[in-house]
Every structure is written in C-alpha cells, then in structure tokens.
Structure 1
Amino acid sequence: MEKHRIKKIVLAGGTGFVGKYFSEQFKALGYQVVIISRNNAHIQWDNIQEIEEALNNAEMLINLAGKSVNCRYNQANKDEILRSRTATTKILGNAILKCNHPPKIWINSSTATIYRHAMDRPMTENDGEIGSGFSVDVAKSWEQTFFNFDLPQTRQIALRMAIVLGAGGGVMRPFVNLVRFGLGGRQGSGKQMFSWIHLEDLFNIVLFLQTSEGLSGVFNCSSPNPIDNTTLMKALRKEMGTSIGLPSPEWILKLGALVIGTETELILKSRWVTPEKLLRAGYQFKFPIIEKALANILKN
C-alpha cells in the first residue's frame, strides 16, 4: 500500500514579504513548502538537480523571484532587475521540462506596471494598452520568457500584480511613516491612479486559480476598486487618526527619491488596472475597497 504523500508547493524567491506570508499560509493548510532562494537555508538557484527534484511531483510552483525595483535605475541595477526575473524563470521552465511528474500549475509573477500610464480609463487584460520604458520592457521580457515554454502537463498563469498591501512590510511601512510625520498628503498631482491588492486576497487568488482548472494565461491581480493617490492618502490619514497631511510636490519627491535611492515612477505612474478575468471567473474579493483593507492591515 502506497504511503500517504504530503502535497508539495514550491516557492521560488520565497523569502521576501509575499513569499514569507505564502509559506506560512500553505504550511497552515498542510502543504510541504520547498523554497528556492539565494538564501543559504534553502535550495540555491545554481543547484539545478535539487530544483528538478523539488519540482517533480509538486502540486504547484509559484515564482516570486526578482530584485526589488525600489532602487535607482542605474545600469547595474537595471541589468540585475531584468536578469533576476528572466534567468530564474528560464531555470524553472527548463527544470519542469526534465520532470517525470511536473507541477500541475506554474504561477509566475508579473506586474501591472506593464500597462501604460493611464489617466483616462482602466486597463483590463482584454483591452489594456502596453506601455513603454524600462519597467514595461522588463515586464514584457519576463512574460515572454515564461510563455515561451511549451509545457503540456503544466498550466501556466502570469499574475500581473498591482501594489501589494499587507501588515509588516511592502509599501505600507513608508506610507505609514509619511502619515505619522505629517507628510501624508497627496503626492504629485494626487490624480494618478493607485491599483492595489490586499496580501490575503493575493493568496486567495492563487488558491482560486489552483482549483480553477480551465483558467490559464495572463491575469490582472488587483482590487476591483482602484483609487487615486489623493483618496489613498486621505483613507490612510483617517484610519491612523491624523488630520494633517502636507502634500509632496513632484520636485520634492524627485529630491527625496534621489536621497533614499529610489525612483519617483513608483509613486507618480498612474496604474489604473482592473481584474476583469478574475471577476468573470467568479473570484470574490475579501478586501474590495481600500478602507476595509487598511482597517484590517493597521488594526494591530
């Protein structure tokens, strides 16, 4: 009689803010979680044999790997941002090709930044217009590398993720600090759109896609209710009980970005993205509006 096998999930790049949360949640559901990472405690990216063994008989592969874009876009950082996404995707795809029992589904990160700066209408998977520039080029190369693999036994989904909001990490820390120090007003014009997703919904979407066997391809992973920057900062101030929030003009943001080593694109690009395919497939958001999301995240 065959011994009962614990179901296995492979998290590539699983040591970051999202990866740690996913690991905890999958373990709570009874899965064995195997992590591929640059961290010495896990399978290393250059250990191809161990990666193949991890992927063999896995229920699902989730790839979250990639250098943070929260940095200055000098040439060295640009090269690493691109390489850390495409090279890891290639390693995983080639490893799946070697598996006798490949993962049933491979979910690869992508980004909602792939769409153009949108002030006029929301971008859906069906009618969204791809933008231009460095960040868009990275996203296009990332998705192209992923979908270039022909994997008959593995369903492939690219998640075009909006800004992920969750407790204890990600963008929430800098936003909270701005409000705390009285700088929680609009940033730039305040009219740029902010597409976002609660960390818990992100995880639930992965579970939803895992069990929805007819779904594949590209999915916008964002709340159905994007807001503009002014509305975001107002909701944050209200939730934190702060009435004062000085605005940050664009020139101050550019100066501040230079000082802390980041780019203003992360704040000033208008990301107006809606999850048309997820809604059509029947996914129900737990945190569809920003007020509910912030109340949950900041309750501790």
Structure 2
Amino acid sequence: MKKKVVLAGGTGFIGQYLEEKFTDLGYEVVIISRQPHHIAWSNKTGIISALNGAEMLINLAGKSVNCRYNDKNKEEIMSSRTKTTQILGSALLACETPPPLWINSSTATIYRHAEDRPMTETNGEIGTGFSVDIAKAWEQSLFDYQLPHTRLVALRMAIVLGAEGGVMKPYFNLVRFGLGGAQGSGNQMFSWIHIEDVYQIILFLQERTDLEGVFNLSAPHPVSNREFMEQLRKAMNRKLGLPSPKWMLEIGAILIRTETELIVKSRWVLPERLEKEGFHFTFETIEKAFHQIILKQQSIS
C-alpha cells in the first residue's frame, strides 16, 4: 500500500514543490484546497478520510499577504489561516488512525523589527501589529489542539526562495531594469530559506519523532537588504542597481496593491533549534542559493 501525505492549501509555490518531491518519493499526495479537482475545505468526511492512515499532514493554507491591508483583506488573511487550521484539527480528532505528524505553516514575521540582534526560538521577542497578530493567532489555533497520537510543529518560515516562483520574479525584474539597489535604508535584515531546505527540514522533522513545537525556518546566514540585492546583481551579472528610497516604495506599493512592510521590515531570524538538533542546510549562504536558482532558471527558459 502506498504511503500517503496530505497537503492542505498545497496549490502555491511551496505546495507544488512539495507535491512533486513527495510524488517522486513514491507517496500518494492528497491535496485539500478550493480548487475543484481537490478535496474541498467544506468536505469534512473527505478530509477525515484523507487524513486517516496518512504519514503526515502539512498545512500551507492562507491568503497571500502580498496585498493592501484593507479591512476585507485583513479578515481574509486571518480567517484563511485560523479557520483552515481549526478544520484540520477537528478532522484529526475524528480520525481512527491520525497521522503521527502535523506540520503547520507560521511566519518569521512573528518577531519584532530587529536591526540590533537576531531572533531565535528561545530569545526572540514577539513584535506588535497586524502581521504579528496574524502569526500569533495562527500558532494558537494549532497548539489549541491536544492530539495524543500526533506531534504538532509550527514552522516560522522566512522568505522562501526558489527558481519556480515565490518572491524571486519581482526581484529579477528589478535587477533587469536597473533598479536592483538597496530598498529603503538597505540596513533591514533579510532572513531567507531555499525551498529545497524547506523540503529537507520536513523530512528531518518526520524522521525525528522526538521533536515538536516551534521551529524557525531560515538559513543560518541572513543578509541585509543591501547585501541581498548586491549578491543578486552579481549573480545576474548586472553592475548597475539604483536604490529605491522609502517614499518611492510607498508609491510603488500603492500602485501594485501591496504593503511596504514586506520590504522594509527587518527580519533577523536564526534557525537555532534546527542547528542544535543537527540539521545541515544545503543552501546555507545566499551565494549558493542564487547560484542554484539562476542555473535552474536558465534551464527552465
């Protein structure tokens, strides 16, 4: 009988990558989403059936934060995370053979704006504001559940980088058009992780049955925004990169209907627990990550 993994909200950049990887490993991958060919969020019986006998549940569901934070979008951002987590928790309680591991997305944005020191799971200071409220509620909706046969893990993800999607396309375009300089002050820290390491960490956590709770998912060598853009220009062989001052970012954010917080907040996060537990990153530096991403991009195009 085929091993089974359930991907909830598995239709985005990370979900598609994980679907392909687990399929290659010989897993049956069952997806819960709003798309008609997947199990619907309203189909409680279908969700319970999918979860029964699964090796693992990975929940990536949540409306993109790449939008303007008006009341309607704020409500959707919150409910798309907390309500889906609650649906899954209730379904797990109803399972006869629940998966031994439930991995739920969270975000490294839960920590405060930090230019003075890095944030770890043990000494990180939780921030304030809308994005932080979302992250806290999201984690709370996971850890509210007491599941005797299922380990609960929340992944506080930094910005996920990969050739197939995510944030890289707009950054590539900025560099191509000569706008690949520092954004805002350029001093804000940019914590990131390569998508392959996200996948490898999931396998690591599956293997390590003694581990649960909160993990920072970020490469061990975060960089400043200025260094991130500099390394990207170098990798793309572009010398010129005009900076974008904060006033320009504010205007641009309104035009493309997003928020400047996504660029100017300083996220300085270290994967203390993962390193302590012996996880080794494949892409520990931004140079390695960019090298792989650009090679892959060239092979795709």
Please give the range of the TM-score, normalised by the shorter of the 2 chains: over 0.9
1:289 lines up with 2:285 in the alignment: yes
Map Cα deviations across residues 3-48 of structure 1 (whole Å, 9 max, x no partner): xx11000000001000000000000000000000001110000000
Which of the residues 255, 258, 261 maps onto 2:251?
Answer: 255
Which of the residues 108, 119, 124 maps onto 1:123?
Answer: 119
Which of the residues 147, 156, 165 maps onto 1:160?
Answer: 156
Map Cα deviations across residues 36-84 of structure 1 (whole Å, 9 max, x no partner): 0001110000000000000000000000000000000000000000000
- Give the letter aligned to residue 119 of structure 1: E
- Give the letter aligned to residue 250 of structure 1: K
Residue of structure 2 in register with 1:88 after alignment = 84
Residue of structure 2 in register with 1:199 after alignment = 195
Which of the residues 137, 144, 148 maps onto 2:140?
Answer: 144
- Give the letter aligned to residue 151 of structure 1: L
**For residues 169 and 57 of structure 1, what CA distance do their matches in structure 2 show?**
31
Residue of structure 2 in register with 1:266 after alignment = 262
Residue of structure 1 in register with 2:36 after alignment = 40
Q: Secondary structure at the match of 1:298?
A: helix
1:56 lines up with 2:68 in the alignment: no
What pairs with 1:105-116 in structure 2 (closer than 5 Å)?
Answer: 105-116=101-112
1:221 lines up with 2:217 in the alignment: yes
**For residues 20 and 30 of structure 1, what CA distance do their matches in structure 2 show?**
16
Residue of structure 2 in register with 1:188 after alignment = 184
Q: Give the aligned length.
A: 296
Q: CA deviation at 1:168?
A: 2.3
**For residues 81 and 226 of structure 1, what CA distance do their matches in structure 2 show?**
27
**For residues 46 and 298 of structure 1, what CA distance do their matches in structure 2 show?**
40
**For residues 267 and 282 of structure 1, what CA distance do their matches in structure 2 show?**
31
1:209 lines up with 2:202 in the alignment: no
State TM-score, norm by structure 2: 0.98
Which of the residues 81, 98, 102 maps onto 1:102?
Answer: 98
Map Cα deviations across residues 161-191 of structure 1 (whole Å, 9 max, x no partner): 0000001211000000000000000000000
Q: Secondary structure at the match of 2:6?
A: strand
**For residues 186 and 151 of structure 2, what CA distance do their matches in structure 1 show?**
40
Residue of structure 1 in register with 2:23 after alignment = 27
**For residues 33 and 118 of structure 1, what CA distance do their matches in structure 2 show?**
38
- Give the letter aligned to residue 285 of structure 1: F
Which of the residues 207, 215, 230 maps onto 2:226?
Answer: 230
Residue of structure 2 in register with 1:280 after alignment = 276
Which structure 1 segments of 5+ residues have no match? none
- Structure 1 residue runs of 4 or more that deviate by more than 6 Å after TM superposition: none
Residue of structure 2 in register with 1:175 after alignment = 171
**For residues 198 and 53 of structure 2, what CA distance do their matches in structure 1 show?**
24
**For residues 17 and 41 of structure 1, what CA distance do their matches in structure 2 show?**
18
- Give the letter aligned to residue 221 of structure 1: L
Residue of structure 1 in register with 2:66 after alignment = 70
- Give the letter aligned to residue 155 of structure 2: L
Residue of structure 2 in register with 1:79 after alignment = 75
**For residues 102 and 164 of structure 2, what CA distance do their matches in structure 1 show?**
27
Q: Secondary structure at the match of 1:100?
A: coil
Residue of structure 1 in register with 2:5 after alignment = 9
Which of the residues 123, 129, 134 maps onto 1:133?
Answer: 129
Map Cα deviations across residues 244-275 of structure 1 (whole Å, 9 max, x no partner): 00000000000000000000000000000000
Q: Secondary structure at the match of 2:7?
A: strand
Which structure 2 segments of 5+ residues have no match? none
